[in-house]
Amino acid sequence: MALLIGRGDLFEAIEYLRREGEGILARFARSKRGIAYADLRFEVVFNRSGAAVNGEPRDGSESENAAYFVSVYVADRAGPVGHGQTGAEIGALAGRPAKLVAELRRGLNEAYDRARFSARKKAELIAHLGDAAKGLLVAPIPSRKKVRDDVDATFSRDPRSLPTDELKKISLDASHEIAALGDAIAYQVVAAMTEMRREIFIDTAGTVVSQAYAFSQGDCYVVAQIGDGHQESYDSIGQQRGLECLSDGWRGELMPNPSLAKFCVGLATEARELAAAPVLKAPDGEVVVVTDPHFNALVSHEVIGHPCEADRALKMEAAYAGRSWFLHSLADNQLGKQVASTLLSACSDPSLDGYGHYRYDHEGTRGRRVMHIERGIFSGFLNSRETAAVLTAEPNGSARASEGWHVPLIRMSNTFFLPGETPPEKIIADVERGYYVCGHQIPSISESRENFRISARRVYEIDHGRIGRLFRSGSVIADSKSFFSNVDAVGNDLRLIAIPNCGKGQPMQVKRMSNGGPTLRSRARLAGN
């Protein structure tokens, strides 16, 4: 039994809405004219964290919050459909059914008014501009069978039942171990977090889905300084589990991690080594690069995952996160075309045991594996119900919000390059002259993700199949299609990496997911500083 601190258990509000939510939504839909569809999502989050800086305690916190998001579609008499939404954090008010219901009604009414206003404005604009405004006629979202399901979280230690002192201690212990590495570590921060989330999705078409998640995450930032050399490194480990994955480490096949202390010491030791290493002098022209799974996690994230988001491909993110090189238009796109070497395949799979695991998205659609590239051929986008309708595809359950009060956006889940059969040692041994690029650092991607520069934590020379000198401040620059097309070896060492901070949307939503791949060998330009 969880030991809860607080006046009441906000998680009980999920049970209340499981009983009453459909009725609340149905009564609202009946009371308003023109409602084509409505849904509501409600989420409760309990979080504990601790942080230490330079071997000294810095922070501890525990928080509990509740939030909802509602979405309403209204059809104008003239035809166009308007869409309105509202999200709000309501905290402890969710623990009182009368207040909760009043808040939901307020939100639904506000969303309805917005939807009606938009439907009317669209009708006016279409009447005024004719063909010039024809893009405003959205495709209707197909109906679907109702779904009912409950999904439990996986953990050994319930995040709600731990003393916060344990979070403080685990981060302080790790920070002490880094401090013991000596003066070369100029600054370091270690943070640990464990969290329980539970959400329920209800729509007017009869779907009721509740899902629970346990997340635990450790973060480390370190600045090393030796003489004039310096290195800033930042990395995270995380699992959809309890704190056991940080205190004891996790031995899962796809995404193992050491204990938080071991992870932090490893990162700091590497930063110290890098601060003493020379800066990479960029070689002229393209060179052979062997990229490790950690580096490829960011390549798969930025250059596969993001351009495979259908909202981006359909230009809905053009003003913020950009477009996609996989889709110029509905008629002119890369679907079914060769975009990579036949050795290369990539997919998103929310069913896998990664940081981006889930069963249903925030539109109540079951998530499933989506192949993006199959043996070099581009094969599909992540979508929502609306974008699936535009693309005449089946919804694949990829619309997710980062918090209970946010709008669902199309998001990666566990997105990665599929493994091949070659041992990574052989991939390196077969290189006469080249570079071994390890650990991702910072990305900069062009607007349609057709080009990238991603910095690595470590770059080694490869000379006659052997790993040689270590360099810092190296990065890979390539046009995406060229990089993928030049892949001539794919390792058998698939790893997923927890990505805790993917930003998208306006306002920005920061989402957790996994990315990864095996070792790859290709050709690219390298840059130093």
Partner 1 sequence: MRSLAELKSFTREAARILAREKDVASYEIYCATAEHRIARLAYTSDIPSRGLEEFKSLHADGFQLRITMRRDPHEVGAASEAGDFTSDSVRDAIRRARSAAVVDPHFSGFPAVPLGRKPAPSEKSDLARVGDGAIAAAAWDVLDGALEAFAKRAADPRIEHPGLIIGGDVSVIRDRIAIFNSNFAEVRINEGAHFHASVTSIIESLDAKGTATALGDSAAAMRRDAHVIGRDAVRRALALSHGVRPAPGKFRVVLGPQPIAEILNYMVMGSLTTGAFHAASSAYHAKFGAPVMDSRLSLVDNPMFSAGAFRRRVTCEGIPTRRVELIRDGKLVGLLSNFYDTHRMLTDEHRAEKLGPSAPAKLIFPPLSGYRLGEGGGRRFDASPGSAGTNVVMRARGGVSDRELIRAVGDGIYVGRIWYTYPINGQRAGDFTCTVTGDSHLIRDGEIAEPLAPNCLRINANIAQVFEHPLAVGSTPRPATVWGSPEAYYVPAIAADSIALAEVAPT
Region 429-488 residues binding partner 1, contact defined as CB under 8 A: 441-448, 450-451, 453, 455, 473, 475, 477, 479, 481-482
Rounded distance between C-alpha atoms, residue 243 and residue 221, angstroms: 20
Rounded distance between C-alpha atoms, residue 30 and residue 406, angstroms: 25
* Start-to-end CA span in the chain (Å): 55
Binding partner 1 (rule: CB under 8 A), the pick from 319, 336, 392, 464 is 319
Query: Which stretches within 91-163 are classed as H helix?
Result: 97-129
Binding part of the chain for partner 1, among 112-120, 152-160, 286-294, 413-421 by CB under 8 A, reads: 112-120
Binding partner 1 (rule: CB under 8 A), the pick from 191, 316, 373, 526 is 316
Rounded distance between C-alpha atoms, residue 311 and residue 408, angstroms: 11
Binding partner 1 (rule: CB under 8 A), the pick from 37, 39, 118, 301 is 118
Our CB check for partner 1 shows the closer of 158 and 479 to be 479
Minimum distance between the CB of residue 318 and partner 1, rounded to whole angstroms?
4
> Is 52 in contact with 172 (CB distance < 8 Å)?
yes
**b/e for 366-390, b at 16 or more Cβ within 10 A?**
bbbebbbbbebbbbbbbbbbbbbbb
Residues 6+ apart with CB under 8 A from 344: 373, 375, 376, 417, 484, 487, 490, 520
Token pair of 108, please? 């639904």
Rounded distance between C-alpha atoms, residue 47 and residue 379, angstroms: 39
Q: 471: which strand partners?
A: 459
Our CB check for partner 1 shows the closer of 431 and 437 to be 437
Binding partner 1 (rule: CB under 8 A), the pick from 138, 205, 226, 276 is 138
Our CB check for partner 1 shows the closer of 333 and 492 to be 333
374-433 positions binding partner 1, by CB under 8 A: 390, 405-407
Minimum distance between the CB of residue 351 and partner 1, rounded to whole angstroms?
28
Our CB check for partner 1 shows the closer of 62 and 270 to be 62
Does residue 84 interact with partner 1 by CB under 8 A? Answer: yes
Binding partner 1 (rule: CB under 8 A), the pick from 77, 78, 148, 187 is 187
Minimum distance between the CB of residue 435 and partner 1, rounded to whole angstroms?
16
Q: What share of the chain is helix, strand, coil (3-state, %, to 5)?
A: 25, 40, 35
Our CB check for partner 1 shows the closer of 121 and 359 to be 121
Q: Which of 402, 406, 414, 327 is nearest to 367 (CA)?
A: 414
Binding part of the chain for partner 1, among 116-124, 236-244, 363-371, 492-500 by CB under 8 A, reads: 116-124
Minimum distance between the CB of residue 433 and partner 1, rounded to whole angstroms?
23
Q: Which of 356, 153, 351, 158 is nearest to 238 (CA)?
A: 356
The amino acid that residue 36 corresponds to is A
Rounded distance between C-alpha atoms, residue 306 and residue 273, angstroms: 33
Site string for partner 1, 209-228 (x = CB under 8 A): --------------x-x---
Minimum distance between the CB of residue 153 and partner 1, rounded to whole angstroms?
22
Does residue 12 interact with partner 1 by CB under 8 A? Answer: no
Binding partner 1 (rule: CB under 8 A), the pick from 35, 40, 42, 65 is 65
Q: Which residue has the tokens 């230009």?
A: 315
> 11 φ, ψ to 5°?
-65, -20
User: Over the Cα atoms of the chain, what is R_g?
Assistant: 25
Number of residues that bind partner 1 (CB under 8 A): 101
Minimum distance between the CB of residue 311 and partner 1, rounded to whole angstroms?
9
Rounded distance between C-alpha atoms, residue 104 and residue 22, angstroms: 12
Binding partner 1 (rule: CB under 8 A), the pick from 78, 102, 127, 318 is 318
Query: Which stretches within 280-330 are classed as H helix?
Result: 293-299, 310-313
Going along 292-432, which residue ranges are E strands?
Answer: 346-348, 370-374, 377-378, 399-400, 409-410, 414-417
Binding part of the chain for partner 1, among 21-29, 285-293, 314-322, 515-523 by CB under 8 A, reads: 314-322
Site string for partner 1, 146-175 (x = CB under 8 A): -----------------xx---x-------
265-294 positions binding partner 1, by CB under 8 A: none
Binding part of the chain for partner 1, among 92-100, 147-155, 239-247, 368-376 by CB under 8 A, reads: 92-100
Binding part of the chain for partner 1, among 129-137, 174-182, 262-270, 349-357 by CB under 8 A, reads: 129-137
